Chains A and B, each alone.
Chain A
Amino acid sequence: MPDPLIPRLKQLIVETLRLEDVTPADIADSEPLLGGGLSLDSIDALELVVRLEKEFGIKIASSEEARSAMASVASLAAYVRERGDPSRLPS
């Protein structure tokens, strides 16, 4: 069964990073978020972290941890599921 968190994350990525000419449906679950086809960089990753911290109550301590969590949308979803406030996660 698809994880409802994944479409929400894709929506957040497009909105927060103001991606032009990209829709959430264009982002594959396994798409590398950094260094991939979206051309996102470490600053984008950190901007996304701020949004994710606000939305899901997670806490990312360092830039190294942010990079590790953002290997792909799927890995980010797993990270958020593991560390987020359960009351804020889509079930």
Chain B
Amino acid sequence: MADTAAPVRVTDCGCATPFGDAAATHAALLRGERALVPARVLGKEGGDPVPLALIPGRTLDEDAPPGWLPTVRRLAASMPEGDWGSPRRPVFVTGSNFGVGGLYALRRSGDLAFAAWGAPPTCTERLREDLGWGPDVSILSHACVSAHLGLLEASRAVESGLAEEALVLSFDFLSPFVAGGFHALKILNADFPAPYRERPSGAIGLGDGAAFAVLSRGRGEWVLEGQSLFNEMHHFTSNQPDASGFTECLGPVAAAARGRRIWFKGHGTGTLEAGRMEVRAAAQAFPGSPLVGWKGSLGHTLGSCGLVELAIAIESVKAGRTPGTIGDEAPAMGDNVAFSGFANGEFDGVVCASNAFGGAHAAFLLTHA
């Protein structure tokens, strides 16, 4: 496998959240705004109130064609043009839920119009046709580390010389299927998330999100280094009590960052045990690095979170200011937690980390070329 000296770079990156594009999202986070609002967990069928953040104009209940399609089309319109989906420009689509909102609607209504986008292969194929891409569109799906895997595969395709450029598209839009599932796990409840805050019980919020990145070699301002994965396989919903999974994943990233001053964009959903472990592991691997998490505002954007938050991290470096951890107030789980925004000009880079069910961990170092 070819492995030349030129590192893989992000040449373009963008996102769509309830606040808007990456710049608008960054600005809203700097102002301390929260996209999460109370909403009924089962949409039009009611249920308990839970914190959700939907793209404006979308409802939790799905439409046919999907109500999220215009958002993805707008995002695609901001991508650089190219023969995406050709052998030299493969596309890596990542997410966790794809068109599952349509499946929910199909089962409740029996309306066949919802079937077309219901499964990941059919959803992606419909999207491919809609956006005019060629056939080389692969799907990586691993819950909340999906976007990181897309970036890793795209990086490898470019590094090996297999691809001239690679496009990663990541999206996850909410539905009663997803909200109902997390509510059944008792981690999505009436409380709003406060990532990295010590309190008696934890809670998450969920949000819509979509993002893209174009990777190439030698072009672009942003360098991806130290991409690292680890899968604990300890339990579906909890981690090894000694936080070894976090440490195993961050080790290679810390090695890549050695000698550089780093800030840390964590996963931070608002759950307690994982939050404590992440705070501790980040402090050990990156002593002195401020830790932030933005899911207290945006909600957890699930399969898209790694790429949505990368787009915001890039915007933060461009703007010279990193938004703080919204939804947070003392006592924090550790001294490294940054409640407030801070100037980032003196930092050399940012570590971006995400975690997922099954004790899956993913992280990388982003620096400015």
Whether A and B touch (Cβ < 8 Å) is answered with yes
What is the interface of chain A, defined by CB distance below 8 A to chain B? 41-43, 46, 49-50, 60-66
B74 contacts the other chain (Cβ, under 8 Å)?
Answer: no
Find chain B residues with CB under 8 A from A61 CB: 186, 189-190, 201
Tell me whether A60 and B186 are in contact (CB under 8 A).
yes
User: What 6 A-B pairs come out closest when comparing CB atoms?
Assistant: A63-B186, A62-B201, A64-B201, A62-B186, A61-B189, A46-B185
Find chain A residues with CB under 8 A from B184 CB: 46, 50
Tell me whether A62 and B235 are in contact (CB under 8 A).
no
Find chain B residues with CB under 8 A from A60 CB: 186
Known: A62-B186, A63-B187. A43 touches B236 (CB 8 A): yes
A contact patch SS: helix
Write the nearest CB–CB distance from A62 to chain B, whole angstroms.
4
**Chain B contact residue count (CB 8 A cutoff):** 16
Give the residue of B189, B200, B237, B272 whose beta carbon is less than 8 angstroms from that of A43.
B237
B238 contacts the other chain (Cβ, under 8 Å)?
Answer: yes
Taken residue by residue from 258 to 272, chain B's Cβ proximity to chain A (1 for < 8 Å, 0 otherwise) reads as 000000000000001
In the complex, residue of chain A having the shortest beta-carbon distance to the beta carbon of B203: A62
Tell me whether B235 and A49 are in contact (CB under 8 A).
no
Write the nearest CB–CB distance from A84 to chain B, whole angstroms.
18
Write the nearest CB–CB distance from B183 to chain A, whole angstroms.
10
Write the nearest CB–CB distance from B325 to chain A, whole angstroms.
21
Docked pose: A65 CA to B185 CA in angstroms: 12
Write the nearest CB–CB distance from A20 to chain B, whole angstroms.
19
Q: 15 other contacts beyond A42-B235, A43-B237, A62-B202, with CB at 8 A cut-off?
A: A42-B238, A46-B184, A46-B186, A50-B184, A60-B186, A61-B190, A61-B201, A62-B186, A62-B203, A63-B186, A63-B187, A64-B202, A64-B272, A65-B186, A65-B201
Find chain B residues with CB under 8 A from A64 CB: 200-202, 272
Write the nearest CB–CB distance from A58 to chain B, whole angstroms.
13
Find chain B residues with CB under 8 A from A49 CB: 186
Write the nearest CB–CB distance from A43 to chain B, whole angstroms.
6
Find chain A residues with CB under 8 A from B201 CB: 61-65
Write the nearest CB–CB distance from B201 to chain A, whole angstroms.
4
